[in-house]
Amino acid sequence: MEKINGTIINTDVEFKDFKDYNEKIVSIKGYIHRIREMTGFSFVILRTARETVQCVYAPEFSDYRFDERLKEEACVRVTGKVVGSFDKNGKERFELQIHNIEILSLPAEQLPIVINKKQLDNIQLSTVLDLRPVSMRNPKERAIFKIQEGIARGFREFLLKNNFTEIRSPKINYAGAEGGTNVFKLDYFGKQVYLAQSPQLYKQSLVGVFERVFEIAPVFRAEHHDTSRHLNEYTSMDFEMGFINDFTDIMNMETGALKYIMNLLKTEYAEEVELLHADIPEITEIPTIKFMDAKELLMTKYKYKPSDMKDFDPEEEALLGKYAKSEFNSDFIFVTHYPSKKRPFYTMDDPNDPEYTLSFDLLFRGLEITSGGQRVHDYHAQVEKMIKCGMNPEEFETYLMLHKYGAPPHGGLGLGLERLTMHLLGFKNVREATMFPRDINRVSP
Ligand code: AMO
């Protein structure tokens, strides 16, 4: 009987290691991205998992003769000699002089769109999304989601380094966590249950166990409107921390996480950053402004007439982004002390002014990417607040176990991964930063 022992055999070389193989014969696997015929030779551009590799076919390199069946999107193993040279900027680059191309598979049909240009030119977003499994093969499209990987990875790495425990909360729940009407109802063996709007109730409960917790997972919002910043399913990056001194501890932790993420992108995702011309923000300090002061500022400095004194509309957020940039040269601004009426039942009111809360939003280049704040930790205060919000505390018995049996002062936040990616890459629509978006008109692919 054959046995498997976990040995990972890499017979082929990766492009990033070509420098160690100069003038040596290597094999590399990938897709044929493009074939460019020149006089007397051809360029065969190979697309590997993360980069494109220039291979050159010429009859004088070997006895191998180009197989006419080879076309774009064929999967191949190319064997050849690594040759280094210097580009016009003096940077060393490597190509492969082809000695053999082994066909691993041939596509059944030609692609419905051209993916081997620098970017997907003149293709409508709806078509790009309809064809996601193949449109993402375009290097620039693919790079968006490597950047997104970097953001989530940075968030996770930073929090693990700061003694957070990664949790997994259920997505099928007995109650919506955030209130409001945007909750998906589900028939669960004859009972009505809900898809998780956020991991809020669970992450708070788990503060009572692990003190500091985080989760990166999908959440569901039944948004009935079709906007450029709302999805019906998005990835929420949440954390919750116990024994805080006050809610600035949470804002500091987020600022630290964002600094770590941006640094990780600059170092380990440099190729994707360059390909996408991503403007990675420099974060030293993030300014903060109280909600009512921000309203005042919008009315006086920007002569803006607010339609709602309890929340910001997108134009107000954009103006606050402009303000942060011009006054503080910051791409971010924290807005604190939101009105109690607009924040969920778990938010702690400001003891100095209970009309407002110990909560905040973080705006990035004029878009809300985070909500967070300190939570009510006292059992009686939480029950009272639930009743005030028209809720029945008896329906939240398991959630209230935290408060009933002892909860430290705590707080946390939720950061929308797609929204952060969207504004980092300068997109107008959050769907561009979502692999397989779910919105009111789209559940496929
Ligand atoms: P909130 O509901 O404000 O807070 O959501 C937190 C962040 O999630 C993102 N977000 C969305 N992204 C895409 N599509 C949507 N429909 C959408 N809705 C929200 C935003 C937003 O800032 N439990 C609290 C967080 C907390 O206090 O810990 C919550 O979920 O970036």
pLDDT value at 176 more than 90: no
pLDDT value at 195 more than 90: yes
Percentage of the chain modeled with pLDDT above 70: 100
- CA 178 – ligand 1 centroid, Å: 10
Ligand 1 atom nearest to 200, measured from its CA: 23
Ligand 1 atom nearest to 197, measured from its CA: 30
**Smallest CA separation from ligand 1 atom 29, residue:** 414
Ligand 1 atom nearest to 232, measured from its CA: 16
pLDDT of residue 392: 94
- CA 384 – ligand 1 centroid, Å: 25
pLDDT value at 251 more than 80: yes
pLDDT of residue 332: 98
CB 85 within 8 A of CB 93: yes
Ligand 1 atom nearest to 236, measured from its CA: 8
Residue 181: which pLDDT band, with cuts at 50, 70 and 90? confident
Q: pLDDT (tens digit, 9 = 90+) per residue, 366-404?
A: 999 999 999 999 999 999 999 999 999 999 999 999 999
Average pLDDT value for the chain: 96
- CA 64 – ligand 1 centroid, Å: 57
DSSP string, 148-205: HHHHHHHHHHHHHHTT-EE----SEESS-SS-SS---EEEETTEEEEE-S-SHHHHHH
- CA 416 – ligand 1 centroid, Å: 6
Residue 338: which pLDDT band, with cuts at 50, 70 and 90? very high
What average pLDDT does this structure show over 116-139? 94
pLDDT value at 212 more than 90: yes
pLDDT of residue 389: 93
What average pLDDT does this structure show over 246-253? 98
pLDDT of residue 379: 98
Q: What kind and span of H or E run contains 351?
A: none
Tabulate helix, strand, coil % of the chain (nearest 5): 30, 30, 40
pLDDT of residue 119: 84
Cα four-point dihedral sign 25, 26, 31, 34: negative
pLDDT of residue 409: 98
**Smallest CA separation from ligand 1 atom 9, residue:** 416
* Residues within 6 Å of ligand 1 by CB: 178, 198, 200, 221, 223, 230-231, 234, 236, 238, 368-373, 412-414, 416, 418-419, 430
What average pLDDT does this structure show over 324-334? 98
What average pLDDT does this structure show over 356-372? 98
Would you mind telling me the total number of residues written for the chain in this entry?
A: 445
Residue whose CB lies within 8 A of the most ligand 1 atoms, among 236, 312, 429, for a mutation test: 236
What average pLDDT does this structure show over 178-193? 92
pLDDT value at 177 more than 80: no
pLDDT of residue 372: 98
**Smallest CA separation from ligand 1 atom 18, residue:** 230
Q: pLDDT (tens digit, 9 = 90+) per residue, 292-323?
A: 999 999 999 999 999 999 999 999 999 999 99
- CA 238 – ligand 1 centroid, Å: 9
Q: pLDDT (tens digit, 9 = 90+) per residue, 215-226?
A: 999 999 999 989
pLDDT value at 184 more than 80: yes
Residue whose CB lies within 8 A of the most ligand 1 atoms, among 198, 233, 429, for a mutation test: 198
Q: pLDDT (tens digit, 9 = 90+) per residue, 258-275?
A: 999 999 999 999 999 999
What average pLDDT does this structure show over 19-39? 96
Whole-structure pTM value: 0.97
Question: Omega of the bond prior to 408 within 30 degrees of 0, cis?
Answer: no
How far apart are alpha carbons 184 and 262 in whole angstroms? 34
How far apart are alpha carbons 42 and 28 in whole angstroms? 18
What average pLDDT does this structure show over 98-103? 98
Ligand 1 atom nearest to 368, measured from its CA: 22
Percentage of the chain modeled with pLDDT above 90: 93
Residue 102: which pLDDT band, with cuts at 50, 70 and 90? very high
CA 443 to mean position of chain CA atoms: 19
Query: Could you give all domains of the chain from N- to C-terminal order, each with its CATH number?
Result: 15-105 (2.40.50.140), 139-433 (3.30.930.10)
**Smallest CA separation from ligand 1 atom 4, residue:** 371
